[in-house]
Amino acid sequence: MYSEKVMDHFQNPRNVGEIDGASGVGTVGNAKCGDIMRMYLDIDDSHIIRDVKFKTFGCGAAVATSSMATELVKGKTIEEALKVTNKAVMEALDGLPPVKVHCSLLAEEAIHAALWDYAEKNGIKIEGLEKPKSDIHEDEEEEEEAY
């Protein structure tokens, strides 16, 4: 049911924790399933994500997608991080069961929420970034039907 990569990121999650004085912090959840993700970004003056940490309350797939999302944005520019989609997270994990697609959506939204927080704190606009939803389950049914 789950790929080896999903199991590895669930059993050995990367970048777990918090960043004190983070440049941006984003928290998103899914009221329907109860998953909550918080992502912390440390962004330098060149707009490169130097460090990223996460805390997730949820199922194994939520932990695995959070872990993979941090791996995909670490060392990237803000613009590159913004392009990390839920599909990219799923592909990097060698897929997810359809009922767990919402976990990858949460990971994408957590990145966006942390970037939004960074932009707000610094009074900047990040091209292509929209205000994130705090609860993603409204979009979930449409995404799951696409798979």
Beta carbons of 118 and 96 less than 8 angstroms apart: no
Instruction: Give the Cα-Cα-Cα angle 120, 33, 105 (nearest 5 degrees).
Output: 45
Residue 117 bridge partners (DSSP): none
Three-state DSSP at 77 gives strand
103 classed as catalytic: yes
33 classed as catalytic: yes
Tokens coding 144: 């799951």
Beta carbons of 143 and 102 less than 8 angstroms apart: yes
Catalytic pick among 28, 39, 72, 103 = 103
Catalytic pick among 6, 22, 25, 33 = 33
Q: Is 105 exposed, middle or buried (0-12, 13-18, 19+ CB in 10 A)?
A: buried
C-alpha closest to that of 33 among 59, 10, 65, 9: 59
Active site residues: 33, 103
